[in-house]
Amino acid sequence: MRILLTVHQFFPQFAAGTEILAYSVARELMKRGHVVHVLAGYPDSAKLNDEDRFDEYDFEGIHVYRFHHAYTAMGGQVSKVEIGYDNRLAADYFDRILESFSPNLVHFFHLNRLGTGLIERAVHAGIPRFMTPTDFWTICPTSQLLLGDGSLCSGPTAHSGNCVKHFVQSTQGRLIGKVSETLPDASVDLLVRLTKNGVLPAYPQSKEVVAIAKRLPVNVSRLNQLDGLIVPNKFMKEFLVRYGVKSDLITESAFGVDVTSVEQSDCRSSHVGPLRVGFIGTLAFHKGCHILVEAFKMLPASGATLKVYGCSEEDQDYATSLQVCAEENQSIELCGTFPNSEIAKVFSGIDVLVVPSLWYENTPLVIYSAQASRCPVVASDLPGLSAVIKNDENGLLFESGSSVDLEKQLARLVTEEGLLQRLSANSRTPKSTEVHVDELLFVWNSA
């Protein structure tokens, strides 16, 4: 088959979980004789002309089409919000790719920077289309279900009034943002509805308010035009169904990882010396590395070491603050990023992986890699993580956002004899990429 995959960003510049998942699936499909191309978004300058927002390149045998996105007027659109989820210029580019590549099917791993309009273009072209949502972007404009203060959000309100509040807080300055926080969601829902229906006269940002109001129903309508969605856990399925996605379109299937370099690892040996703690992930607030640093600094001196692996490009200010904290503690080492092929080596240098996420996550691939290497995981007690990590069985869970509770769990690993080895012995062998692709092919062929 000729298969087109889409993702919001891709190698070599970006190598987080979604990119690794799309890359691994592409490589496995190619090994089986399929022809696979990738369409990726790319965050770029607002100064580019429309005709300069497209290019192509090859990465390790994968042909990549790239759309250079920016939150600026393009393709006749001026709303920054609308350009984020319904980008007509990207959809026109997609049409050209469908015509030149002629794929037998399209699988969307992410549509940020590209837009859900691609689903409708695939419908019009008569091409089977599927999706693996790796976060909550289709429903939540921020993709993370987090409020402006960093606390968990249950999702958009009836008319996305809480999303409008979040937009105001992040774009309109501190004073206006503070005022918006005091407004009840129901009142903002009413404002949104009146604006969308044209009852209120135009006001600054009214076009963005309308775009936010339309975002959810437009995206859900398009998701229901897919031939199937593959989600990694029950939480994601229930969330999508709650907002109107048809349940019979959804198949639960956990992600797969390349376990060839780390499987067959022995149980972690008896602990000698300081506990070697590790963090692997993007250095951004929602990943919660600062919670880990705070907890680590509470541990007795010389009781543990901490290695932080992660990309700092998403949030430079956040990464800088972590660096300042690390400089104050000689037991903390910021190690930068590493090629995914070296993940076994990284796990051999740590005794426990900490995943202190502040958002619901969607089962980060690094947890499966840790399980394959029999490295115990200490994770936030949130649905996407607790579906894999069972407390006191194959890892430890702690209250999300609580450095105090995290410190207690790390202290247990330092002081409780045999705990690390027991958790390691109970590690569950994760699904391989090969099995995950088998399941994708089954869903594709069934539909």
Q: What is the pLDDT, as a whole number, of residue 398? A: 98
pTM of structure: 0.91
Give the helix ranges, DSSP H, for 80-205: 80-85, 88-101, 117-125, 161-171, 174-181, 185-196
In percent, the amount of the chain with pLDDT more than 70 equals 96
Q: What is the pLDDT, as a whole number, of residue 266? A: 61
Structure tokens given for 251? 């198949």
- Give the relative orientation of helices 117-125 and 206-223 as an angle to the nearest 10 degrees: 40
Reported as a single tens digit per residue, the pLDDT across 148-188 is 888 999 999 999 999 999 998 888 777 666 777 788 999 99
Judge whether residue 265 has pLDDT over 80. Answer: no
CA 36 – CA 45 distance, rounded (Å): 28
Q: Which domains does the chain have, with CATH numbers?
A: 2-134+227-256+433-446 (3.40.50.2000), 275-425 (3.40.50.2000)
3-class secondary structure, 152: strand
- Give the relative orientation of helices 206-223 and 185-196 as an angle to the nearest 10 degrees: 90
CA 54 – CA 48 distance, rounded (Å): 10
* 274-284: average pLDDT: 94
Q: Is the peptide bond before 232 cis (omega within 30 degrees of 0)?
A: no
| Minimum mean pLDDT range among 120-129, 261-270, 289-298, 364-373 | 261-270
Other residues' Cβ atoms within 10 Å of the Cβ of residue 311: 17
